[in-house]
Amino acid sequence: MKKLINAVEDVVKEQLEGMALAHPELKVNYEPYYMCRADAPVKGKVAVISGGGSGHEPMHGGFVGKGMLDGACPGEVFTSPTPDQMYECAKAVDSGAGVLFIVKNYTGDVMNFEAAAELVAGEGVKVQNILIDDDVAVKDSLYTAGRRGVGTTVLAEKVVGAAAEEGYDLEQCADLCRKVNQYGRSFGVALTSCTVPAAGKPTFELGEDEVEMGIGIHGEPGTHRMPIKSVDEMTQYAAEQIIDDPAYSRTVREWDGEQWADKELTDEPFAKGDKVIAFVNSMGGTPVSELYAVYRKLDEVCRAKGLTIVRNLVGPYITSLEMQGFSITLLKADDEILKLWDAPASTPGFVR
Amino acid sequence: MSMNKAQLVTWLGKLNDVYAEKKEYLTELDAAIGDADHGINMNRGFGKVMEKLPTVEDKDIGTILKTVGMTLMSSVGGASGPLYGTFWMKGGMLLAGKDELAADDFVQFIEAGVGGILQRGRPELGDKTMYDLWAPVLEAMKDEAGNASEVIAVVDAALPVAEKALADTIPLQAKKGRASYLGERSIGHQDPGATSSYYMIETLRDVLAG
Ligand SMILES: Nc1ncnc2c1ncn2[C@@H]1O[C@H](COP(=O)(O)OP(=O)(O)OP(=O)(O)O)[C@@H](O)[C@H]1O
Ligand SMILES: [Mg+2]
């Protein structure tokens, strides 16, 4: 393992210390871990909080700031944070307008955020949790824990963060976040594995000439392996997985203010004439130059399918440590989403 | 004979040793069908339990169990953190004020704990999770306690059932948790959560047998 670390146990703590020094506009708390806007709570504003395992930087901590998140709760590398973190973070940033948890759909994250929502609600704080489950590589929700939360999370944090800044109330923020999730779809490709510092060796083995299609963001295996192809072929495949994905239905559990309630959701497929925000993401080890090669082909595939890219985001925003690879996210953009996408944001990892 | 506080504390200490010793093994199991962190998570969690234990050792069993649950909840993370956290916390709520556990008390602790796992994770039998171990174990414990038995007899009766249930997770296809994303590729691997749960029962048997 070749990494810029001191001791394995100190990785997350020391990286947070570095962030705190580099960004005095953030407040970093160490017991338990969370970071929030130094000016939180912002009077009258809904607080937006996300969190998840570390190793995906700049998400989530890098998106804390005006126009995006109020707080972020980092877990150990690739391990979800714990309820006490979300609880303390929520108390620190709630202005009285309530707290929205944006939760990526992984069993660990879901359960820890659910436990946190119960704790926060127990204190009389208004809270809602909305899941992001946008990874089309997962086909069914009946025999799996459902689609994983990947690229759409970044776009949701931008759009919902802007809405909270504009004065949306908690329910409006939750409805918007649900909509963004339902409008977004992603697909990821790995060229190499990654190494979790505490494990010390690569999470999986991938041959010199092999790629893994349909990966998540934790080195979990994808749908299949194949010999590496040209960037055009791999981009076309990923884009078609997203654009041709049929309607997707599943049951999600949301906090209704007093208890957990099951909700049936169906995401409609993309349709000719849709305007989209296209997000081409690096898994960490792939250079931005190669992402533009992906974007070049993605633009062509979208045109051929009748989709118009009206905005884009290209770069490493939701990474998987040093993994080489990319993901594509397409988000159907209506006027509300576009207006909020264009709103100002000022965070360490995203500035508009 | 009932189970006393000293035995509970010894159990927790031994569990800490076991999870330190099995850290690599559990992580390997999780690497095969998950994200290679289960051993690391359990080791970190019980390390924290050991730090907290001295502050509650002389309190009642309910308080000790609750502290274990809260500590695991806030230090393990992943799926197993809230599951084990809830498991021990539910037991703690039930056993407030007790300084020793008769066989019935013990079985109620396990029953409440397994109920907590069900509430939090909503697993079904055959989903290839720790619940596939706890469900038959709980049944075996209840049966044995019905004979007005000792705690050690209850645990003795559960151990072979646990052993079998653990091996029985191997041919299952995972339908919950990270492993479910593998679909059929999850078949042929032992579930890491069921394995860490098995150690709880095996270690308790060793402690009670002295
Ligand atoms: N819904 C569930 N109900 C009961 N047990 C579950 C459920 N989901 C997972 N498990 C158990 O949790 C174990 C995995 O625990 P682990 O600590 O590795 O969490 P994880 O899913 O990897 O989460 P994270 O990646 O966030 O760390 C599985 O082996 C299984 O026994
Ligand atoms: Mg795991």
**pLDDT band at residue A166, thresholds of 50, 70 and 90?**
very high
Residue B1 is predicted with a pLDDT of 76
Region A164-174 average pLDDT: 98
Please tell me the total number of residues recorded for chain B in this structure: 210
Mutation for B interface: A11, A30, A82, most B CBs within 10 A: A82
Is A218 considered catalytic here? Answer: yes
Ligand 1 pocket member B79 (CB < 6 A): yes
Q: How far is the CA of B35 from the centre of ligand 2 (A)?
A: 5
Residue A223 is predicted with a pLDDT of 87
A114 contacts chain B (CB < 8 A) = yes
CB atoms within 10 A of CB A9: 13
pLDDT tens track for A13-39: 999 999 999 999 999 999 999 999 999
Residues 6 or more apart whose Cβ sits within 8 Å of residue A118: A255
For residue A219, the chain B residue with the least C-alpha distance is B35
Q: Whose CA is nearest to atom 28 of ligand 1?
A: B193
The encoded tokens of residue A75 equal 């877990």
Region A262-278 average pLDDT: 97
Mutation for A interface: B26, B35, B49, B73, most A CBs within 10 A: B35
Query: Which range, of A19-33, A140-154, A273-287, B90-104, averages the lowest pLDDT?
Result: A140-154
Region B153-179 average pLDDT: 97
ipTM of the complex: 0.88
A187 contacts chain B (CB < 8 A) = no
State the nearest Cα–Cα gap between B133 and chain A, in angstroms: 19
Measuring CA to CA, which residue among B132, B119, B34 is closest to residue B85?
B119
- Confirm if A319 and A283 have CB atoms less than 8 A apart: yes
Q: Tell whether the model's pLDDT for residue B149 goes beyond 90.
A: no
Q: Tell whether the model's pLDDT for residue A141 goes beyond 80.
A: no
B75-B76-B81 Cα angle (round to 5): 115
Ligand 1 pocket member B123 (CB < 6 A): yes
Query: Which range, of A1-15, A66-80, B29-43, averages the lowest pLDDT?
Result: B29-43
pLDDT tens track for A208-220: 999 999 999 988 7
Region A51-75 average pLDDT: 98
The encoded tokens of residue B15 equal 């569990």
Residue B79 is predicted with a pLDDT of 94
Measuring CA to CA, which residue among A280, A331, A255, A234 is closest to residue A90?
A255
Torsion angle of the four alpha carbons B125, A219, A49, A36, in this order, in degrees rounded to the nearest 10: 140
For residue B23, the chain A residue with the least C-alpha distance is A199
* Strand A308-315 with A184-190, pairing: unpaired
Q: How far is the CA of B37 from the centre of ligand 2 (A)?
A: 5
* Strand A99-104 with A127-132, pairing: parallel
**pLDDT band at residue A221, thresholds of 50, 70 and 90?**
confident
Region A229-250 average pLDDT: 98
Q: Which residues pair with A157 in a beta bridge?
A: none
Q: For chain A, list the domains and their CATH numbers.
A: 8-182+251-269 (3.40.50.10440), 186-243+270-335 (3.30.1180.20)
Q: Tell whether the model's pLDDT for residue B182 goes beyond 90.
A: no
How many angstroms separate the CA atoms of A236 and A243, rounded?
A: 10
Residue B147 is predicted with a pLDDT of 85
Question: Residues of B at the A interface (Cβ-Cβ below 8 Å)?
Answer: 27, 31, 34-37, 40-41, 44, 73-83, 85-86, 120-121, 173, 175-178, 180-183, 185
Region B114-138 average pLDDT: 97
Catalytic residue among A23, A60, A218, A224: A218
Q: Which ligand is nearest to the CA of B41?
A: 1
Q: Tell whether the model's pLDDT for residue B148 goes beyond 80.
A: no
Region B144-165 average pLDDT: 94
Q: Whose CA is nearest to atom 29 of ligand 1?
A: B193
**pLDDT band at residue A204, thresholds of 50, 70 and 90?**
confident
Tell me the whole-structure pTM to 2 decimals: 0.93
**pLDDT band at residue B157, thresholds of 50, 70 and 90?**
very high
How many angstroms separate the CA atoms of A146 and B112, rounded?
A: 28
Q: Tell whether the model's pLDDT for residue A263 goes beyond 90.
A: yes
| Contacts with A218 from chain B: Cβ below 8 Å | 35, 178
How many angstroms separate the CA atoms of A234 and A244, rounded?
A: 15
Query: What is the three-class DSSP state of A47?
Result: strand
How many angstroms separate the CA atoms of B18 and B27, rounded?
A: 13
Whether domain B3-209 has CATH 3.40.50.150: no
- Range 204-233 of A in CB contact (< 8 A) with B: 216, 218-221
Residue A24 is predicted with a pLDDT of 96
Is residue B163 exposed (0-12), middle (13-18) or buried (19+ Cβ within 10 Å)? middle
- The domain limits of chain B are 3-209
Q: How many CA atoms lie within 13 A of B93 on its CB side?
A: 12
Q: Which ligand is nearest to the CA of A149?
A: 1
How many angstroms separate the CA atoms of A56 and A150, rounded?
A: 10
Residue B34 is predicted with a pLDDT of 84
Is A224 considered catalytic here? Answer: no
Average pLDDT, chain A: 96
A310 contacts chain B (CB < 8 A) = no
* Strand A26-30 with A33-37, pairing: antiparallel
The encoded tokens of residue A11 equal 């990785």
Interface A–B counts its CB contacts (< 8 A) at 100
Measuring CA to CA, which residue among B82, B94, B152 is closest to residue B122?
B82
Measuring CA to CA, which residue among A248, A130, A140, A141 is closest to residue A179?
A130
Mutation for A interface: B67, B178, B181, most A CBs within 10 A: B181
Name the more confident of A156 and A258.
A156
- For chain A, state the CA radius of gyration: 19
Residue A112 is predicted with a pLDDT of 97
Distances (CA, A) of B68 to B50, B154, B197: 9, 22, 15
State the nearest Cα–Cα gap between A203 and chain B, in angstroms: 7
A128-A170-A20 Cα angle (round to 5): 80
Is residue A245 exposed (0-12), middle (13-18) or buried (19+ Cβ within 10 Å)? middle
**pLDDT band at residue A61, thresholds of 50, 70 and 90?**
very high
